[in-house]
Amino acid sequence: MKKTVVAILLSGICAASVQAAGQDNTWYAGAKAGWSNFYGVDYANTVKNNFSVTDEKNDDFGAGAFVGYQLNQNVGFELGYDWLGQFKYQLDNVSDDYRVRSQLAQLTMKLGLPVSPSWDLYTRLGGAYAWTANRDIHQHYNGGAFVAALGAEYAIDRDWAARLEYQYTTPLGKDHDDDTHVQFDNGLLSLGILYRFGQAAPMVAAPLPAPAPAPEVVDKQFTLSADVLFDFNKHTLKPEGYTALDSLYEQLKAERPKDGTATVIGYTDRLGADAYNQSLSEKRAQSVASYLVSKGLPADKVAVEGRGKASPVTGESCTSRNRKELIVCLAPDRRVEVHVQGVAEAQP
């Protein structure tokens, strides 16, 4: 029977992956209370002396206290004291009860089996020194005993834990030839509470700062038809031109360039002398730039260029000999371009 109990306790040891016991190299202390049961009682000596047992009470209240050292999540050591209560029996022809009280001090190794962040299964194995006394007849027996336990521990929080445990102790009492002595085993089913000392708060890594977003480069070009801005062969803005530039300014603001620059470039068609066209393109670019500065663009960030009839959009597609038709065909060449470069400001 004893071998079976020990085998059951040892079979509870299995691999586990989650820490549930106390932290390594820390101490804990606790107390327990529950139901104490005496069984396997041997009355051999009493029977030898021609007495028989007429009644017995083998249940009582049991309690204990313990202190432990947690070496690591799987191994610990406990030193404890247990009051196992008393076993009562009565012999024939004897009016009084015999009461055998048992208590013990024990030292065990605790083998833990963490199964979740909160639960830990364990077994304890070790030895004890037991005091067993039949005070009614002033007889005592003190001696060694074997202790084994199987339990489950629940971590209430970082410092406190509760445990449910069944503890087996053998033997208690003695079976010598002395009169009225008995021997028995004990099982203690108990609930306990324990406090773990020196449990450090878990290290929480500070979150890394979010990387700064990469700057968004602004590099855009806006093209306005010179025929919308100016009358033919003129550089003074007409009413429709102001409206078009107001719309352009709002687009520039939407881009939110930081430390950006704007280059205003004027173009003409191929009709007329080169010098005249160059001068007209510069004046038209300046008219556009001056209006944008009046709207709010920094004057020192605005450059003006005139490129005359360079870079025609129409290429060689306009071949009409009729001047009016040619002027209409070359309209895309008459334009003002605004080239904006910079870095977009972060949105608020």
Q: What is the mean pLDDT of each run of 10 residues along the chain (348 residues)?
A: 44 42 91 94 62 77 96 95 89 72 95 91 96 73 93 93 96 66 89 93 80 77 86 88 87 74 89 89 90 87 89 86 86 89 65
Whether 115 and 12 share a structural domain: yes
Whether 137 and 246 share a structural domain: no
Whether 190 and 299 share a structural domain: no
pLDDT computed for residue 150 by the predictor: 97
Whether 190 and 129 share a structural domain: yes
Q: What is the CATH number of the domain that holds 254?
A: 3.30.1330.60
Residue 162: domain span: 2-196
pLDDT computed for residue 2 by the predictor: 44
Whether 268 and 332 share a structural domain: yes
- Domain edge (last residue) among 196, 228, 247: 196
Q: What are the strands, taking DSSP E only, across the chain?
A: 26-42, 53-57, 59-70, 75-91, 98-114, 119-134, 139-155, 160-173, 183-196, 217-225, 257-267, 302-306, 335-344
Whether 43 and 134 share a structural domain: yes
Q: Is residue 167 part of a domain?
A: yes
110 token code pair: 């605790």
The structural domain count of the chain equals 2
pLDDT computed for residue 165 by the predictor: 97
Q: Is residue 207 part of a domain?
A: no
Q: Is residue 331 part of a domain?
A: yes
pLDDT computed for residue 44 by the predictor: 59
pLDDT computed for residue 51 by the predictor: 62
pTM (two decimals)? 0.55
**DSSP assignment of 133-169, as one string?**
EETTTTEEEEEEEEEEEEEEEEESSSSEEEEEEEEEE
pLDDT computed for residue 298 by the predictor: 86
Whether 327 and 253 share a structural domain: yes
Q: Is residue 333 part of a domain?
A: yes
pLDDT computed for residue 25 by the predictor: 93
- Domain edge (last residue) among 196, 228, 262: 196
**Those residues with Cβ within 8 angstroms of residue 316's Cβ, 6 or more apart along the chain or in another chain:** none
Q: What is the CATH number of the domain that holds 140?
A: 2.40.160.20
Contacts 24+ apart (CB under 8 A), 115-118: 115/16, 115/18, 115/20, 116/18, 116/20, 117/18, 117/19, 117/20, 117/155, 118/20, 118/154, 118/155
Whether 79 and 120 share a structural domain: yes
Q: Is residue 223 part of a domain?
A: yes
pLDDT computed for residue 161 by the predictor: 95
Distance of alpha carbon 22 from alpha carbon 160, whole angstroms: 9
Could you check whether the bond before residue 171 is cis, i.e. omega within 30 degrees of 0?
yes
